[in-house]
């Protein structure tokens, strides 16, 4: 039986790959895609999600969600994703969003679900947190929450914090407080999944489908990461989806994770206690390693299945 999931996203050059992977994978049943502002503003993340779903000829409903975090101000990340969120690669416009706001839709799906649903968060966690904090009785209907978020060491948007965690740390704290298992694909994991020109070239050779070629075009626009030595760019968000499909490609560790919610330079930091030093109860599973070649082969194989 495919795993029922909701994908909450902010496309985003790497969200684009994650969405395509989810839509191409028979192991998953994507019930809805919900969208927040993040890498770029909500107007663009929403139109990007709609365009990507249309490109894949998918009928999955796409819902608009939060355009800002629970607290504080909205900040985008155009240095990595370009001013339009997809590196300037222009896609044919998709259809209109499906009526219903993200948090309402997430609650409705959970309420109506016969079996529990996995929530996948690859952007700021605002929509997921709004859904679960306004109807906490739905938490048992959540199988698990799988996030690309956080770092156990250095951040990528501040010295302390990873972009998604920093964008809405209060939302992430709400998810950690639900009592449901939370799985983290952190920056240390995604640093092992580097897109290089050679990997893009290998993907390109796998077929002529427009989704595969567009994803290669988009990935070719992402600047190499200075933080990681300049060989390529980390492909963050697909790691969260790939773990659901091929957990055998990953190693994991059970940890406690707490948020730094203070106003100072540590704000948004995920305090990941990998060595059990705090004695805090375990509330998360951290993905620690990924077989990068296996991961990129999986992606290429699945992208080549799409139109
Ligand atoms: C995360 O932030 C965004 O820029 C990416 O889409 C990813 O979700 C990485 O820090
Ligand atoms: Ca993202």
Q: What does the pLDDT average to over 142-161? A: 98
The larger pLDDT score, comparing residue 81 to residue 117, is at 117
Ligand 1 and 188: CB distance under 6 A: no
| DSSP string covering 83-122 | TTSSTT-------PPPSS-HHHHHHHHHHH-SS-EEEEE-
Residues 6+ apart with CB under 8 A from 84: 40, 44, 48, 90
Compute, in angstroms, the gap from residue 155 CA to the centroid of ligand 2.
Answer: 15
Pocket test for ligand 1, best of 75, 122, 189, 227 (most atoms within 8 A of CB): 122
Q: Say yes or no to pLDDT of 109 above 90.
A: yes
Q: Which region among 72-81, 123-132, 266-275 has the lowest average model confidence (pLDDT)?
A: 72-81
Query: Rounded to an integer, what distance in angstroms lies between the CA atom of residue 235 and that of residue 222?
Result: 10
Domain residue spans of the chain? 3-303
Report the CATH architecture of 3-303.
Alpha-Beta Complex (3.90)
Q: What does the pLDDT average to over 86-99? A: 97
Q: Percentage of residues in the chain with pLDDT exceeding 90?
A: 96
For 24-79, write each residue's pLDDT tens digit.
999 999 999 999 999 999 999 999 999 999 999 999 999 999 999 999 899 888 88
Ligand 1 and 39: CB distance under 6 A: yes
**Stated pTM of the model:** 0.98
Ligand 1 and 240: CB distance under 6 A: no
Closest Cα partner for 66 from 147, 129, 132, 142? 129
For 274-301, write each residue's pLDDT tens digit.
999 999 999 999 999 999 999 999 999 9
Ligand 1 and 76: CB distance under 6 A: no
Compute, in angstroms, the gap from residue 114 CA to the centroid of ligand 1.
Answer: 32
* Helix ranges, 56-207 (H): 78-81, 102-112, 126-134, 163-167, 169-176, 187-190, 197-204
Token pair of 294 as six digits: 């296996």
236 in catalytic set: yes
| Average pLDDT taken over every residue of the chain | 97
For residues 207 and 170, is the Cβ–Cβ distance under 8 A? no
The DSSP element (H or E) to which 206 belongs, if any, is none
Among candidate residues 63, 141, 236, 302, the one labeled active-site is 236
């Amino acid at each position: 039986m495919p795993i029922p999931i909701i994908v909450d996203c902010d496309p985003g050059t790497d969200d684009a790959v994650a969405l395509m992977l989810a839509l191409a994978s028979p192991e998953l049943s994507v019930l809805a895609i919900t969208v927040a502002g993040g890498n770029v503003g909500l107007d663009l993340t929403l139109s990007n999600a709609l365009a990507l779903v249309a490109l894949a000829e998918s009928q999955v409903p796409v819902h608009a969600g939060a355009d800002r975090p629970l607290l504080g101000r909205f900040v985008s990340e155009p240095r990595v994703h370009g001013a339009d969120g997809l590196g300037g690669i222009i896609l044919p416009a998709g259809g209109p969003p499906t009526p219903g706001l993200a948090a309402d839709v997430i609650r409705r799906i959970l309420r109506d679900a016969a079996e529990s649903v996995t929530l996948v968060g690859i952007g700021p966690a605002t929509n997921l947190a709004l859904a679960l904090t306004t109807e906490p009785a739905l938490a048992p209907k959540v199988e698990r929450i799988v996030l690309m978020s956080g770092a156990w060491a250095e951040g990528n948007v501040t010295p302390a914090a990873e972009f998604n965690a920093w964008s809405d740390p209060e939302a992430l704290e709400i998810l950690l407080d639900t009592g449901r298992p939370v799985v983290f694909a952190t920056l240390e994991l995604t640093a092992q999944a580097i897109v290089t020109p050679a990997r893009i070239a290998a993907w390109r050779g796998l077929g002529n489908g427009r989704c595969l070629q567009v994803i290669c075009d988009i990935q070719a626009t992402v600047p190499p990461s200075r933080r990681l030595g300049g060989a390529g760019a980390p492909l963050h968000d697909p790691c969260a989806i790939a773990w659901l499909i091929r957990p055998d490609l990953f190693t994991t560790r059970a940890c406690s994770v707490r948020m730094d919610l203070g106003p100072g330079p540590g704000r948004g930091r995920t305090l990941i206690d990998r060595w059990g030093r705090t004695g805090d109860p375990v509330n998360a599973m951290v993905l620690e390693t990924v077989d990068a070649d296996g991961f990129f082969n999986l992606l290429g194989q699945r992208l080549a299945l799409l139109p």
